Structure formats: C-alpha cells, structure tokens
C-alpha cells in the first residue's frame, strides 16, 4: 500500500531508534525527513537502495555516529542535511560519488575533524555549509574542483588557519563566509581570482593582520565585512578597485589607523560602518566623492574631533550616526547641504556645545537624537524649519535651559523626549501647536515648575511622562485642560514628591 509513497516526514520523532528493515521497498520515495530524531543512532544499509531519494534531512540527529557505507548509491540525492549531527565522527569515503548532490550541510558537526579528499568529486555541488566545524584545521585541495559551488560557509571554523591555494579555482563562488575564523591569519594571494564573488564575510577573524593586494580585483564583490578584525592595521590601496562594492563593514577594527585615499574610487558604496574604530582620528578629505553613500555609521569613533566640511557633498546620505563621538565639539557648517538626510544621531556627543544655525535646511530630516549631549545649552531657532521631523530626542541634555519659542512649528513631530533636562524650567507657550505629538517625556525634569494651559491642545497625545518632576508643587499648577487629552492612555507621575492633588483626568485613563 505504501510502495508509491514519495514523501516520508518523521521530523521530531525523538524516540525513534531505528528505521524499519524494509524501508528499501519505498522505491518512489523522494524526500525523507528525519530531522530532530535525536534517538536515532544509525541508518540501515537498506537506505542506500532508495534510488529515487533526492532529499535526506538528518539535521539534529545528535546520536547518529556514522552513515552507511553505501550512501554513495543514492544516485538521485540532491540535498543532504546533517546539521547538528554532533555525534558524527566521520563521513564515508564514497560520499564523493553522489554526482547529483547540490547541497551538503554539515554545520554543527562538532566531532568531524576533516573532510574526505574526494569531496571535490561532488561535481554538482552548489552549497557547502561547514559552519561550527570547530575542529577543522584545513580544507582538502580537491575543493578547488567544485566548479559549480556558489556558497561556502565556514563560519565559526575557529581551528582553520589558512585556505587552500586551489580556492582560486572556484569560479562560480558567490558567497564566502568566514565569520569567527579566529585562527585565520591570512588569505591566499590569489583570492582575487574569485571573479564571481559577491559577498566576503571575514567578521570576527581576529587573527587577520592584512589583506592581499589581489582583493582589489574582485570585480563582482558587493559586500565586504571586516567587523571585529582587530589586528587589521590597514586596507590595501587596491581596495579602490572594487567597482561594485556597496557595503563595507569595518566595525571594531580597532587597529586600523587610517583609510586609504583610494576609498573615493568606491563609486557604488552606499553603506560604510566604522563603529568603534578607536584607532582612526579622522575621515579622509575625499570622502565627499562617495556620491551614492546612504549610510555613514561612526558610532564610538572616540578620537574624532571634527568632520570634513566636504561632507556636505554627500547628497545621497540618509543616515549619519555619530553617537559616542566623545571628542566631537561641533558639526561642519555645510551639514545643511545633506538634503537627503533622514536620521542624525548625536547620542552621547557630550562636548557638542551647539548646532549650526542652518540645521533647519535639512528638509528631509525625520529623526534627531541628541540624547546625553550634556554640553548643549540651547537649540537654534532654525530648528523649527525641520518640517519633516517626527522624533526629537533630548533626554539627558542636562545643560539645556530652554526650547525655542517657535517649537510649535514642528508640525510633523510625534515624539518629544526631554527627560533628564534638569535646567529646563518651562515649556514654550506654543507647544500646544504640536498637533501630531503622541508622546511627551518630561521624566526627571526637576527644574520644571509648571505646565501651560496649551498642553490641552495636544489632542493626539497618548503618553505623558511627568515622573520625578520635583518642582511641580501641586496640580493646581497643572492646567485643567489636561482633561481634554482624549487620546491619553498613559500618565506617569511617580516620584512627584510634592504632589498634593489631581485635576479632572481624561476618561481614557
């Protein structure tokens, strides 16, 4: 009755110890799913008789110690998933005869220390996943014969010290993942021969001290991730030859002392991450030539004291992240020329004393984060010209004494966070003009003495934080108009130690 079965799914049958002896009777079986069968210790020899089988999933069979020697008889097999088979100590030598196999997943096979030499005989293989193969010390040279291989995942292969020279023969390779290969000290000089490579992930390769010059001839490379390569002291000038590079991640490259001048030749670059590059003191002056740059992330760039004035030329820039740039004392005058900028993050720039008067020219700006800019005493009047601004974050601006009188002109503002603005004594009269405001945070504004009657005009306000407003003597000083906030659903008054009474509150609370 079951001889015509083409799919058998036994996934998650954790008590299954073995398969029936007559499983070879399923002549038409194409897919066998045994994932999560953690009680399975072995496979019968008869499994090699399933001539139609094209998918075999053994992922999570953690007690499986070996594969049957005749697995090479599965001539139709296209996908073999052995991920999480942590008990598997070796692969049978005849695995290389699986001529139809295009996907082999060995991720998390922590007992495996090597691959069979004939792995290169898998002529149809397109994807090889060896992530978490922590005992792997080297790859066989025969890997270079995998002419159709498109994806090679070596993430977490911490024992891998080098790549074989023959890797340059992987002419179809598009994805090379080496994240967390902490033992990798260098890349082969011929890595530039991987003409189809679009993504190279070297993040967490903490032993990598340099890149070969040939990396600049990877003409198809779209993404290069060097995050956490803390020993990397420089980038080769040849990197400017990466004509298709769009994403460059250098987060945590603390040994990097400078960027090459050739970086201006990366004409397709749209994302540049320099988070925590503590060895860098400045950006190259020619950064303005990155005409398509959309994201510039300089978070934790602690030695940065200024930005080049030429940054105003980055007409495509949408996100500028400067949080934690502790040495930054001012913004360049030409920052107002960033007409596409949507997000400006200055969180923790404690030396920043003022914003440029023309910041209001940033007509596309939607998010401005000035959290913990403790040196900021005031905001320029021109800030009201930010007609697209939705979020203004000023919490922790302990030196801020007042807001511009015309703050109500920010007609798109939905969130205003003033928590921890200790010197703020009052809010502007026209704050009620912020008709789209739904959240007003005044927590810890210990200098705030009263709220204005116009607060009742904030018809869309849903959240009002007044916790720790120590000088709000009683709610006779809070306008009775608060009852008109018909959308208000959250009102925080904890630690208002001098609170004596409450006015009539909205029925929505």
Per-residue pLDDT reduced to its tens digit, 379-389: 999 999 999 99
How high does pLDDT run on average in the chain? Answer: 92
Q: Measuring CA to CA, how many Å separate 404 from each of 159, 355, 429, 445?
A: 59, 13, 10, 17
Compute the distance between CA of residue 54 and CA of residue 100 in angstroms, rounded to an integer. Answer: 8
Give bridge partners of residue 344 from the DSSP assignment. 320, 368
Split at pLDDT 50, 70, 90, the class of 481 is confident
Q: Measuring CA to CA, how many Å separate 490 from each of 97, 427, 463, 505?
A: 67, 20, 5, 11
pLDDT given for residue 473 in this prediction: 56
Write the pLDDT tens digit of every residue in 5-16: 999 999 999 999
Give bridge partners of residue 31 from the DSSP assignment. 7, 55
Q: Is 13 helix (H, G, I), strand (E, B) or coil?
A: coil
User: Are the beta carbons of 114 and 93 closer than 8 angstroms?
Assistant: no
State the sign of the Cα–Cα–Cα–Cα dihedral 340, 343, 348, 352: positive
**Res 437 pLDDT > 60:** yes
- Phi/psi at 417 (5° precision): -110, 110
pLDDT given for residue 21 in this prediction: 86
pLDDT above 70 as % of the chain: 96
Q: Which residue has the higher pLDDT, 421 or 486?
A: 421
**Res 334 pLDDT > 50:** yes
**Res 508 pLDDT > 80:** no
Q: Measuring CA to CA, how many Å separate 150 from each of 66, 127, 382, 413, 415?
A: 27, 6, 53, 47, 46
pLDDT given for residue 436 in this prediction: 96
pLDDT given for residue 87 in this prediction: 93
pLDDT given for residue 218 in this prediction: 97
Lowest mean pLDDT among 42-56, 146-160, 170-184, 241-255: 42-56
Q: Measuring CA to CA, how many Å separate 316 from each of 2, 28, 289?
A: 62, 56, 11
**Res 219 pLDDT > 80:** yes
Split at pLDDT 50, 70, 90, the class of 476 is very low
Closest by Cα among 331, 413, 335 to 367: 413
Q: Which residue has the higher pLDDT, 408 or 479?
A: 408
């Amino acid at each position: 009755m079951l001889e015509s079965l083409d799919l058998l799914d036994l996934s998650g049958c954790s008590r299954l110890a073995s398969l029936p002896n007559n499983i070879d009777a399923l002549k038409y079986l194409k897919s066998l799913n045994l994932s999560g069968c953690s009680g399975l210790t072995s496979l019968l020899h008869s499994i090699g008789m399933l001539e139609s089988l094209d998918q075999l999933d053994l992922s999570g069979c953690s007690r499986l110690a070996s594969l049957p020697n005749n697995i090479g008889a599965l001539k139709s097999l296209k996908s073999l998933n052995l991920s999480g088979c942590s008990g598997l100590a070796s692969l049978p030598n005849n695995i290389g005869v699986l001529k139809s196999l295009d996907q082999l997943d060995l991720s998390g096979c922590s007992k495996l220390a090597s691959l069979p030499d004939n792995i290169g005989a898998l002529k149809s293989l397109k994807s090889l996943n060896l992530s978490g193969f922590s005992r792997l010390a080297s790859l066989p040279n025969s890997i270079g014969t995998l002419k159709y291989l498109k994806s090679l995942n070596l993430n977490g292969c911490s024992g891998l010290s080098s790549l074989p020279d023959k890797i340059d023969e992987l002419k179809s390779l598009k994805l090379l993942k080496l994240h967390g290969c902490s033992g990798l000290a260098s890349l082969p000089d011929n890595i530039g021969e991987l003409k189809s490579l679009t993504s190279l992930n070297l993040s967490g390769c903490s032993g990598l001290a340099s890149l070969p010059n040939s990396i600049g001839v990877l003409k198809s490379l779209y993404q290069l991730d060097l995050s956490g390569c803390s020993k990397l002291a420089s980038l080769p000038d040849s990197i400017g030859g990466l004509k298709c590079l769009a994403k460059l991640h250098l987060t945590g490259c603390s040994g990097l002392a400078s960027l090459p001048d050739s970086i201006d030749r990366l004409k397709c670059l749209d994302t540049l991450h320099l988070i925590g590059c503590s060895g860098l003191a400045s950006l190259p002056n020619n950064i303005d030539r990155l005409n398509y740059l959309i994201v510039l992330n300089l978070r934790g760039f602690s030695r940065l004291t200024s930005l080049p004035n030429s940054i105003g030329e980055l007409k495509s820039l949408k996100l500028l992240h400067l949080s934690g740039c502790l040495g930054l004392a001012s913004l360049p005058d030409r920052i107002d020329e960033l007409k596409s900028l949507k997000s400006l993050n200055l969180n923790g720039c404690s030396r920043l004393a003022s914003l440029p008067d023309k910041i209001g020219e940033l007509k596309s700006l939607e998010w401005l984060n000035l959290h913990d800019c403790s040196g900021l005493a005031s905001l320029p009047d021109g800030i009201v010209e930010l007609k697209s601004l939705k979020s203004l974050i000023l919490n922790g601006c302990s030196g801020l004494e007042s807001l511009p009188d015309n703050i109500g002109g920010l007609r798109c503002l939905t969130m205003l966070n003033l928590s921890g603005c200790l010197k703020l004594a009052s809010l502007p009269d026209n704050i009620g003009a912020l008709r789209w405001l739904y959240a007003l945070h005044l927590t810890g504004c210990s200098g705030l003495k009263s709220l204005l009657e116009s607060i009742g005009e904030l018809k869309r306000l849903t959240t009002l934080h007044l916790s720790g407003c120590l000088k709000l003597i009683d709610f006779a000083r809070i306008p009775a108009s608060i009852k008109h906030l018909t959308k208000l659903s959250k009102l925080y008054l904890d630690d208002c130690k001098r609170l004596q009474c409450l006015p009539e509150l909205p029925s929505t609370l």
